[in-house]
Structures are given as C-alpha cells and as structure tokens.
Amino acid sequence: MRNQIRSKVLEVVTAILPLVLVVIILQFALVKMPTNLFLQFIIGAVMVITGMVLFLIGVDIGILPMGKALGAELPRRGSLPLIIGIAFLIGFAATIAEPDVIVLTNQVDAVSGGAIAKNVLVYIIAIGVAFFVVMAMLRILLGFPIAYLMAAGYIIIIILALFTPVEFVPVAFDSGGVTTGPMTVPIILALGLGFSSVLAGKSAMSDGFGLIGLASIGPVIGVMVMGMVLS
C-alpha cells in the first residue's frame, strides 16, 4: 500500500508539474496576473495534485474492481432486459451528474437564446449517452464489428453537420467530448471490461473497449437534431 501511494504521488507530480511550471514561467515573463490570482493558481495546483493522487488510488482499488465485478455479473443473470436496463441507467445517471454537461448547457443557452429549457437539454444528452452505452453492450454480446457502428455513427454526424445551423455545430461536437468526464470514464470502462471478460470467445482486449467512444456519438447527434428543430 505504501509503495502504491509513493508511486502514485510520483506519477501525479510528473503529470501536473510541467504544466504548472509553464504557467509560472509565463506569469513572470509575460502574463503578470494580479498576485492574489497567481496565489490562487498555486493553491489550485496543490489541490489538483492532492486530489488526483487520491482519485487515481481510489479508482484503482475501488471503482474499477467494483465496475468490473458488476459488469461480469450482468450476463450471468441471463436476462437481456436486465443488461439493457442497467447499462441505460448507469449511462444516464452518470451523464446527468457530469459537471461539464452543466457548463455545456449554459453554452447552448447562450447560442440558442434560451429557446430550450436547460434541463430538457441535459435529458436529451443523457438519453443520447445511455442509448449508445446500451448499443455498445449489445455489440459486445452480438459480436457486431465496432468499425461498422463507429463508421455509421460518424457518417450520420457528418451528414447532419452539413444541415445544422452554423452556431450549433461547435456546441454539438463539444457535447460529445464533455459528456465523458473523469467519473464516467472509469465507471463505463470497467463495466465494458468486466462484461466482456466473462463471455466465452470474447476478451477484455478485443471487445471490452469502445463504450466511451460510442457514448460520445449520442449527444452530438442529439444536439444537432435539436439545433435543426429549433431553426
């Protein structure tokens, strides 16, 4: 345990320190932000490092094994509706709670001039994510090639992009990225890895990944369709 903590601290420091150093150099050379703002940055950097150490250790010993255990148990119940239901629930709930999604809905609000209620948008995005998490689980089960799903998803996106009002395009693409935040990632990742690890003829390496990638497609399509409907 002590070794684990030491190696995580080392990892996080090498992860964050370069960025902090660059900001400090910029501060003295060029930016010269007010001292209190700079102090706040230093405090923030310390919080980021401490937080990331705790988070990474916690994910390793808590969330990943838990998600994998749950994912591995799902197919053993032998019930397809149960798998669909739980995948949908986890995708939906994780997205609704994602802090970045809230930021995104404020952006959309600014672009659309408040034409759509914020919480409706959150639900649209969450349903988009949940739907594609379910698709991803079914894909693992049915052995449907991921390349076709991805290609189909992005071809639809590209076609829609040509007809979506210009101001909605950046927001739509952004929504795909922001929905998969730091808490959603380990949960959905572990679910897929655990799920594929117990099925005969499948393995975590060849089938377990791809859930996050597919989950990113849903909200892009959702926001684009919404943009077209609004105009």
Partner 1 sequence: MVWDGFGHTLLGIIEALAPLLVLFIIFQLVVLKLPRSYVFNLIKGSLLALVGLALFLQGVKIGFFPAGQAIGEILGLVRVQWLLIPFGFMMGFLATWGEPAVRILGEQVEEASVGSIRKSIVLYIISGGVALFIAIGMAKIIYGVPLLWIIIPGYLLAIGMLRFSDKSVIAIAFDAGGVATGPMAVTFLMAIAVGIASSIQGRDPIIDGFGLVALIALAPILTILTLGLILRMKTRRKEENATMAEKSLIVSIVRKGWGDKILQNSCKAGAEGGTIMFGRGVGVHEKQTILGIPIEPEKEIVLTVTNADETDVVLEEIVKTAELGKPGAGIAFVVPVEKVVGVVHRSDESCTI
> Residues 101 to 140: which contact partner 1 by CB under 8 A?
102-103, 107, 110-111
> Which 166-195 positions form the footprint of partner 1 (CB under 8 A)?
166-167, 169-171, 173-174, 176-178, 180-187, 189, 193
Which residue, 107 or 116, is less far from partner 1 as judged by CB? 107
Q: Which of 7, 10, 73, 115 binds partner 1 (CB under 8 A)?
A: 73
Binding mask 200-219 for partner 1 (x = CB under 8 A): xxxxxxxxxxxxxxxxx---
DSSP letter (8 states) at residue 76: G
Which residue, 53 or 124, is less far from partner 1 as judged by CB? 53
Q: Which of 4, 7, 10, 50 binds partner 1 (CB under 8 A)?
A: 50
DSSP letter (8 states) at residue 208: I
In the complex, the smallest distance separating the C-beta of residue 229 from partner 1, rounded to whole angstroms, is 20
* Tokens coding 45: 């950097």
Can residue 18 be called a binding residue for partner 1 (CB under 8 A)?
A: yes
Count the residues in the chain: 231
Determine the Cα angle at 46 with ends 63 and 24, to 5°: 130
CA–CA distance, 231 with 226 (Å, rounded to integer): 9
CA–CA distance, 86 with 88 (Å, rounded to integer): 5
Can residue 227 be called a binding residue for partner 1 (CB under 8 A)?
A: no
Q: Which of 10, 37, 117, 120 binds partner 1 (CB under 8 A)?
A: 37
Which residue, 112 or 124, is less far from partner 1 as judged by CB? 112
* Tokens coding 157: 């996106």
CA–CA distance, 110 with 179 (Å, rounded to integer): 19
* Tokens coding 169: 């395009």
Whose CA is closest to 152, among 172, 175, 135, 130?
135
Which residue, 62 or 114, is less far from partner 1 as judged by CB? 62
In the complex, the smallest distance separating the C-beta of residue 54 from partner 1, rounded to whole angstroms, is 3
